[in-house]
Chains A and B, each alone.
Chain A
Amino acid sequence: MFRINLKIAFRNLVKNRVYAAINICGLAIGLTAFILLLLYINHENSYDRWSPELNRVYQLRERHDFFTPDNKQYWQEVNDSKVAALVRENIPQFKYVTKVDNTWGSGSSIKAGSSDPVMMDYIRDADSSFFKVFDYQFLQGDPVTALNQPNSIVLKQRTAIQLFGTDQVLGKEVKIVMWRTDKGTPMKITGIVAEPDMPESLLFDAIMHTGEKDKDPINYTNFCRVYALAGSDIDTAAVNALLQKTYVDFKKSSFVQRKISFTDVYKTGKTPGLKAIPLKEVHASPPFDISWTDQIKPVIALSVFLLLISVINFVNLATAQSAQRAREVGVRKVLGAFKKQLMVQFLLESAIQCLFALFLSIALVELLLPMFNTYFEINLSFWYSHQLLGILTQLAAVFITITLLAGLYPAVVLTNYQPVAVLKGNYQHGFKGVRLRNGLVILQFMIAVILMISIGVMKLQTSYMADKNLGYNKAQLININTNYDEGFVNHIRRLPGVQYVASTTQVMGNVFNMPEEISYQNQNYNMNTVTVTMDALPALGVEVVNGRMFSAKYGQDTVNTVVLNQTAANLLGKNIIAKSYDVKSENEKYTFQIVGIIKDYHNEGFDKAVLPTIYKVTMLGGTSSTNNLLVRFNTVNYQPVIKAIEKEWRALYPDFPMIYTSAEDTFQQQLKSSHRLVQMIFLFSIVSVALSLLGLFALSAFMAERKIKEIAIRKIMGATDFQVINMLNRSFLILVALANLVSWPIAYVLINKWLQGFAYRIDMPFMPFLMATFMSMIVSILTITIRARKAAVSNPVEALKYE
């Protein structure tokens, strides 16, 4: 039975090969997007799962407002280093606790023997417990003792091979230079660990033990990451309650020592907090950015839509063909076939097409993966993926779902044919499920039209962002990743082509915001403070609105004058130039004079509003230097100048390569994430629209075919080709028009929501709506007309004879 059903299914496929090809290709495209998405989700889900031991590893997160983009509190992965000791002493559930550097994105230089130094992003300093918490597989060396001695280092296998060309390097030495002026420390290699076969959230090239992490500084705070290994399975909620209590007690006692009151610090809605989250959840819950699960939600929606469109094509074509199969159903029933058996037969036919589509899409995935990988800077693979079995199960599930979605309704329609109606020979040519099919065509076009409107608006918003005046001049500006060092700065300031050399704690790509409360005319305001050198504002090329920028002419500028940005000035009111405000510190009061107001400039993406900001040259506000050295050139052709700067650098710091980025690149990087979404939606939309049209084409082709006789008779009665084409067009155009009507409000709501996510956005434009409607109508008319013409211009006699 199965064999013969299979045979018949194939014969039917061959007979209706054009429609079958359309079905299969459409489904394959829908499935390809879906499989890529699955691979991506699987990859993101595979973080920190390379060892079963990791189930018991937790990351500590402290709630604080340092290093945040908007001076609000976040659960952060960089903690006060004292947290480690606190956890070790107070939480018995954790067997080992380890502290490890957050690298802040500034690399270290590592040098093997006399070869050139190599910059590596992730050489992390840890205490001696690191490998007790993280169960890395040691190829050489002993995990228990590897980090016991200060100045020992454990390399990843690939790091060893990159530096030495071999991994047989146990006992050898490397020299680590952590910052530009660092003298460098020789470290003994005490271990080589294998690269895990799944991604890690705590990336490293090497783990070193300098000894710094063995103690906590007393007078200031050192920030690092803290991880802990539980002795056995723990009740996370209970442990977190204990952590919170311990932490609050710790904060209170430390405030007592520093003579500050607890309620004072946490009065403005801020609360202290410490918790542990399972390592497995770390990747999915980044402290600031939206997590990948939220990021890909629109993509999931898009792929589901795409799949839906191809399934709709499938259902529509299958039900349209049902009239053809009706007789067969009638005959089979009187031959003794139960409905269930017929159902199985028709589902089998859908299954075969879905299976073809699945194979085709796997081939497509293989073909597209390299492109996909470069585009998303990710490394996915289908066959070599560690969860091949998982993927195959998922695909089986997708296959079954699609088969049922695509095949069930047509099968129900078909098996419901009553033999008498068919066999009497006078059954209607009327197609069953016309209403459903029309509904599906509308749905399909709704998706297509909404997507078209979306890309229109998104394109407008992105070009608005790309062209928007940032408030500073990003051309001819580079940012060297280093501190402001007067000696070096004097060297390069003399180079021809260099206009300004300056430093700031706030520049796009590396922002370090410091919250501060000021009191102006007896009122308190929360401001953001930025420390700059004298030349920083002119180096950025920001505009003065009122007053002046800092200048060496005014001696007090290094003491107590400030420049505000427009947003901050607006908060304080009118006529504020030359006025003063106060900042209260622990026991003193500082007074600052406002000397100028500058235009707001952007240092985050356009989704974030510019913070009210105070710019100071003084160190009285207290903030550290944050590795920005801005260099503005006064020539367009500044590549040779950079070469000259690099030469100066090498002469001074031979063991530490110079790292820099241009302001232009940083800006493009900033745009990239929203750009990617737009491009992805663009791609999906094009494919969806194409699939919808393909479906429409097939459907109209089919209708034309069924109506050949009607067309022939009409022509004999004197209808012109145009009238015939019109007749075919009308039925579909009504559907497309209806779809447009429904799409407009839905698109409006969705896009408005997307636009709300940008602090700087365009007004809702009308053009994309019009364009989408116009396009959808024109293209469907063209599609149907091509098909209808063929039917219309055929010789009526042929058609009638054939019947």
Chain B
Amino acid sequence: MIELKDIEKYYASKGVKSYILRHVSTTIKQGEFVSIMGPSGAGKSTLLNILGMLEEPTYGSYSFMGEDVTTLNERKRIELYRNHIGFVFQAYHLIDEMTVEENIEAPLLYKKVPGAERRSRVADILDRFNMVAKKDLFPNQLSGGQQQLVGIARALVAQPSIILADEPTGNLQSAQALQIMELFKKLNEEEGITIIQVTHSEVNAAYGSRILHLLDGVIKEDVNL
């Protein structure tokens, strides 16, 4: 599903190149649950952003579902977001002016899903996440864990084939974190959704099927569990 070949990323400042990623090549297949680990500043977020096409690599090629996406125009990229990619952020990034229900509905609006289906899908997800009672609340009326649940629900509602999550539990207590991980595992196993997450926690990583260890921009280890 994902094929990275010789990805490099550097920032040039005052003529000095500082490398963030070097010679990153890897393949991620449909249905995998990959955790990216490594010390702070190793380039984990950068790698995930490149996978999510939020950043472009300085060098190398990236193909997503058989299509070369190394450089894509904004419109094509956003079409991929609509149909295939769901993002989950450490800081949740819900839209403050929208209620829980509206936040979850937003991707479907952009995807132009008809009204009836939209409502039933949102209701479905709310139900599944046990959030029906909270659907009319605004993000600032929820706890962090609840907000992240909404964030995940929002990523899932458009039925993506892959979820990219950058430290999804970084701001949460361990009990809530475990709940989110259980959810990821379930989604991965039951619905076959590919998941790539960045995490600092061994425990979280253990929920996945594969771990990429990143050190100074280089993949040091690639472990299948």
> Which residues of A are interface residues toward B (Cβ below 8 A)?
1, 4, 7-8, 11-12, 15, 327-328, 330-339, 341, 418-420, 423-425
Contacts and interface: CB of A to CB of B under 8 A. Distances in A.
B167 to A, nearest CB: 11
Nearest to B45: A424
A341 B110 contact: yes
A336 B55 contact: no
Interface of A is mostly: helix
Given A8-B97, A339-B74, A334 B52 contact: yes
B6 interface: no
B102 A334 contact: no
A4 B105 contact: yes
B54 A331 contact: no
Contact of A330 (B74, B83, B93): B93
B99 to A, nearest CB: 9
B82 to A, nearest CB: 3
A332 B93 contact: no
B93 A423 contact: yes
A1 B93 contact: no
Given A330-B93, A336-B110, 16 more contacts: A4-B98, A4-B106, A4-B109, A327-B93, A328-B97, A332-B110, A335-B81, A335-B87, A335-B106, A336-B78, A336-B81, A336-B158, A420-B49, A420-B55, A423-B54, A423-B87
A339 B102 CA distance: 20
A330 B55 CA distance: 13
Nearest to B111: A336
Interface in B132-180: 154, 158
A336 B94 CA distance: 14
Contacts of B93: 327, 330-331, 423
A220 B55 CA distance: 94
12 contacts: A8-B97, A15-B97, A330-B93, A331-B94, A331-B95, A334-B52, A334-B81, A335-B154, A336-B110, A337-B78, A339-B75, A424-B49
Contacts of A424: 45, 49
A425 B97 contact: no
Nearest to B79: A336
B78 A425 contact: no
Q: Would you list the 10 A-B pairs with minimal beta carbon distance, nearest first? A: A336-B82, A420-B54, A336-B110, A11-B97, A335-B107, A336-B81, A331-B93, A334-B87, A1-B109, A8-B97
A335 B109 CA distance: 10
Interface of B: 45, 49, 52, 54-55, 74-75, 78-79, 81-83, 85, 87, 89, 91, 93-98, 102, 105-107, 109-111, 154, 158
B8 to A, nearest CB: 17
A97 B87 CA distance: 83
Contacts of B94: 331
B54 A334 contact: yes
B54 A419 contact: yes
B54 A12 contact: no
A423 B53 CA distance: 13
A333 B111 CA distance: 12
A227 B3 CA distance: 88
A15 B49 CA distance: 32
A420 B91 CA distance: 13
Nearest to A335: B107
Given A8-B98, A338-B75, A332 B106 contact: yes
Nearest to A337: B110
**Among B78, B98, B154, B158, which residue has the most Cβ atoms of chain A within 10 A?**
B78
A7 B109 CA distance: 14
Nearest to B56: A420
Contact of A12 (B83, B89, B97, B110): B97
A337 B78 CA distance: 7
Contacts of A420: 49, 54-55
Contacts of B97: 8, 11-12, 15, 328
B81 A332 contact: no
A423 B95 CA distance: 13
Contacts of A333: 78, 81
A88 to B, nearest CB: 73
**Among B75, B82, B93, B94, which residue has the most Cβ atoms of chain A within 10 A?**
B93
Contact of A332 (B55, B85, B89, B95): B95
A328 B97 CA distance: 9
B168 to A, nearest CB: 13
A8 B138 CA distance: 12
Contacts of B78: 333, 336-338
Nearest to A341: B110
Contacts of A334: 52, 54, 81, 85, 87
Contacts of A15: 97
Contacts of A341: 110
A15 B85 CA distance: 32
Contacts of B75: 338-339
Contacts of B89: 423
Contacts of B107: 335-336
Nearest to B155: A335
A4 B103 CA distance: 10
A423 B164 CA distance: 13
Contacts of B79: 336
A337 B108 CA distance: 10
A1 B79 CA distance: 17
Contacts of B109: 1, 4
A12 B105 CA distance: 19
Nearest to A7: B102
B15 to A, nearest CB: 23
Nearest to B166: A423
A789 B96 CA distance: 30
A183 to B, nearest CB: 85
Contacts of A328: 95-97
A332 B106 CA distance: 8
B192 to A, nearest CB: 21
Contacts of A418: 54
Nearest to B97: A11
Nearest to A8: B97
Contacts of A331: 93-95
A376 to B, nearest CB: 46
Contacts of B52: 334
A1 B106 CA distance: 9
Contacts of A335: 81, 87, 106-107, 110, 154
Nearest to B49: A420
A702 B102 CA distance: 29
B197 to A, nearest CB: 15
A597 B111 CA distance: 92
Contacts of B45: 424
A12 B154 CA distance: 21
Nearest to B87: A334
A4 B87 contact: no
Contacts of A11: 97
A200 B25 CA distance: 85
A424 B82 CA distance: 20
A729 B79 CA distance: 46
A744 B110 CA distance: 52
Contacts of B49: 420, 424
A418 B78 CA distance: 12
A333 B93 CA distance: 12
A12 B96 CA distance: 10
Contact of B102 (A4, A336, A425): A4
B55 to A, nearest CB: 5
